[in-house]
């Protein structure tokens, strides 16, 4: 049995749970955008993997190994 995670809600929760420590508005926006996109894509990847698997544990192992290739 897999768990259904809404990527948008997940990304919003991750963003709310990890406030920026920067004081510069532009840096805060960049950090927030990067964090949101990473969280959203990770949730999408989980959903994609879980639709093809029966065991959530196996899906989580696969997601942990996922490289989203978002960094420069």
Q: What is the 3-state secondary structure (H, E, C) of the chain?
A: CCCCCCHHHHHHHHHHHCCCCCCCHHHHHHHHHHHHHHHHHHHHHHHHHHCCCCCHHHHHHHHHCCCCCCCC
pTM of the model: 0.70
**pLDDT of amino acid 36:** 96
31: containing domain: 7-64
Judge whether 36 lies within some domain: yes
Task: Give how many domains the chain has, as a whole number.
Answer: 1
The pLDDT of residue 68 is 64
Q: Kindly state whether residue 72 falls inside one of the protein's structural domains.
A: no
Residue 43 is assigned to a structural domain of this protein: yes
Q: Is residue 38 in some structural domain? A: yes
Residue 1 located in a structural domain: no
Q: What parts of the chain have a pLDDT lower than 50? A: 72
């Amino acid at each position: 049995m897999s768990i259904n995670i809404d990527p948008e809600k997940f990304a919003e929760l991750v963003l709310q749970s990890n406030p920026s420590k920067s004081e510069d508005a532009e840096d805060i926006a960049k950090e927030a955008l990067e964090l949101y996109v990473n969280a959203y894509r990770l949730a999408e990847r989980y959903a994609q993997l879980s639709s093809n698997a029966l065991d959530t544990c196996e899906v989580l192992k696969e997601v942990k190994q996922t490289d989203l290739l978002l960094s420069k």
